[in-house]
Amino acid sequence: MNTLTDTAPAPAPMGWFARSEAWLDSKGKGAWITAMILGFIFFWPVGLALVLYITFTNRWSSTMFAKSCRHKKSWSRHGMHAMSTTGNSAFDAYKADTLQRLEQEQRDFESFLERLREAKDKSEFDQFMDERARTAGASDEDDK
């Protein structure tokens, strides 16, 4: 009868850098941030090296901004609820009238801005044509 005994290979000895990285990983983001700040305080190249290491090794790529992304998604979710009914018919009518009034004011303001731009363009064009006519008239008088 054959007996086979499996023995797990001994783990490779880790260097101080790998041990430090594993320790910081076990403590979480706060440890990395603290190490980075202390690095800047005591010897700025160490802090800079930690910033570059964290940035280029994508240590936090999936979780760095997870909370802020959730926050933005929740705001977009609330934006969709602005058009839904609340159950209070008086408030819903007031909200619909107000939104309609604001949309009309926005259209009126945009048309005002368009007319203002057209008027400015026309005055600039008229000024250009007047200057051109003056320079053409001055050059005609010089030719005589």
Which of the pair, 107 or 2, is modelled with greater confidence?
107
pLDDT in tens, 26-56: 888 888 888 889 988 988 888 888 888 888 7
**Residue 18, both tokens:** 């790998």
pLDDT exceeds cutoff 60 at 6: no
DSSP per residue over 95-135, as a string?
A: HHHHHHHHHHHHHHHHHHHHHHHHHHHHHHHHHHHHHHHHH
In the chain, the amino acid numbered 38 is L
Q: How far apart are CA 83 and CA 75, in angstroms?
A: 14
Which of the pair, 116 or 59, is modelled with greater confidence?
116
Q: Answer yes or no: pTM beyond 0.75.
A: no
Q: How far apart are CA 126 and CA 130, in angstroms?
A: 6
pLDDT in tens, 53-109: 888 776 665 555 455 455 555 545 555 566 678 888 999 999 999 999 999 999 999
